[in-house]
Amino acid sequence: MDRINEAHVIEPGLVVVDVAAADDATALAFQQLLADRWATSLAQHTTRDAGEPGVRLRCYLDLRQPVSPTAPDEALSLAGTDSLG
């Protein structure tokens, strides 16, 4: 996959998700689960790397958006959180 562009993670709450799956249907279904929960820039298709098993895709999430459409006031709060690790 291409390198992650700095613009995609310039602010807290922006996430790049690289997905590896056995097949297109699995990768796209996982991406849809993310999109159902958060604002997501969806990949239109998967890619295959020669000599590598399965498929890959990359999508972009904005966790600053509401967690679910039924609870618009329930946004992920990043204030006061430290980075993992």
Q: Which residues pair with 19 in a beta bridge?
A: 57
* Domain map (residue ranges) of the chain: 10-73
Number of residues assigned to the chain: 85
DSSP 47: B
* Separation of alpha carbons 40 and 32, rounded Å: 9
Is 81 in contact with 63 (CB distance < 8 Å)?
A: no
pLDDT at 63 over 80: yes
pTM: 0.65
Average pLDDT across the chain, whole number: 75
Q: Is the pLDDT of residue 69 over 60?
A: no
Query: From CA 78, how far away is CA 29, in angstroms rounded?
Result: 27
Average pLDDT over residues 49-77: 72
What is the C-alpha separation between 5 and 18, in angstroms, rounded? 13
